[in-house]
Amino acid sequence: MAVIDAKPFAYEFDPATTALIVIDMQRDFIEAGGFGASLGNDVTLLQAVVPATARLIAGFRAAGLPVIHTRECHRPDLSDCPPAKRTRGNPSLRIGDEGPMGRVLIAGEPGAEIVPDLAPAPGEYVVDKPGKGAFYATGLGDHLAGLGTRSLIFAGVTTEVCVQTTMREANDRGFACLLAEDATESYFPDFKAAAIEMIRAQGAIVGWTATTAQILEALDA
C-alpha cells in the first residue's frame, strides 16, 4: 500500500488498483475563443494548471498506471443535449454554434479536443460525456470494473462542476477518491476553494485532497 499525507487525513491506496482521471481539459474550456471564454470567463486561470496536470499524467504513465481522459461534448445533431442545457445563461456562443474552433462542444470538432500538452497517449481511454459527471451515459463504470480499479486520483476542470460531480458519482460507486489540488481549477477561485472544502469535509465525505508533488512522491515510493 502507498500512503499520501492528504487532507483531512492519510490516504492509503494500492497503485495496482488506482487510475488517474483527467476531467475536461479541452480547448473549448481552456483556450481563448472557446465556450468558457464565451461565457465571459478568464480562461488563463485554467491554463495555469496545465503544467501540474501534465506532471501528474507523466507520473502515472511512468508507473504504468491507467490514465483516463474525459471530454464534455455532444453529438452533432444535439440529440443528447437537453434544451434546458443549451439555452441556459446568455453566452455569446451556445453549444452547437459555430465558433473559432468549430462547433462548440461537439464531438470531433477542434474545440472539443483536449489541449495538446495533455493529449491522450495511444491506448488511453477517452470518455465522451454529455453531462457534468463522467459516469452518466458513458462506459466509464464498466471500464473501471474491467481494470479492477478501486482508487481514483482526479485532476481537471472545473473543480466545482464536472470534477466534483464525477467525484461524487465515484464516491457513490465505492471508489476511494483523491483530488490533486494544484491540478484542478475554476473560473472562480472562491468556488474552487469551497469545492475543496466540501469534498474533504466531515472526514472526507466525498474524498481526499493533496498536491501533485505528494501524489508523485507516493507513486515513486
> What tens digit of pLDDT does each residue of 13-29 get?
999 999 999 999 999 99
The identity of residue 5, as a single letter, is: D
* H-assigned helices in the chain: 27-30, 35-38, 44-47, 50-62, 83-86, 140-147, 164-172, 189-204, 212-220
Q: How far apart are CA 28 and CA 157, in angstroms?
A: 12
CB 74 within 8 A of CB 96: yes
Q: What is the pLDDT of residue 92?
A: 84
Q: State residue 91's pLDDT score.
A: 78
Span 186-196, pLDDT tens digits: 999 999 999 99
pLDDT of the residue at 90 = 77
Of 7, 73, 81, 162, which residue is the catalytic one? 162
Q: What is the pLDDT of residue 88?
A: 85
Catalytic status, residue 80: no
In the set 24, 28, 128, 182, the catalytic residue is: 24
Report the predicted TM-score, pTM, of the whole model to 2 decimal places. Answer: 0.97
Average pLDDT value for the chain? 97
Cα–Cα distances (Å) from 119 to 50, 55, 69, 220, in that order, read: 11, 13, 9, 23
Active site residue 24: yes
Catalytic, out of 129, 132, 177, 182: 129
Taking 70 as the pLDDT cut, the residues of the chain under it are none
Task: Give yes or no: 177 in active site.
Answer: no
Is 209:181 a contact under the CB 8 Å cutoff?
A: yes
Tell me, what's the pLDDT at 33?
Answer: 87
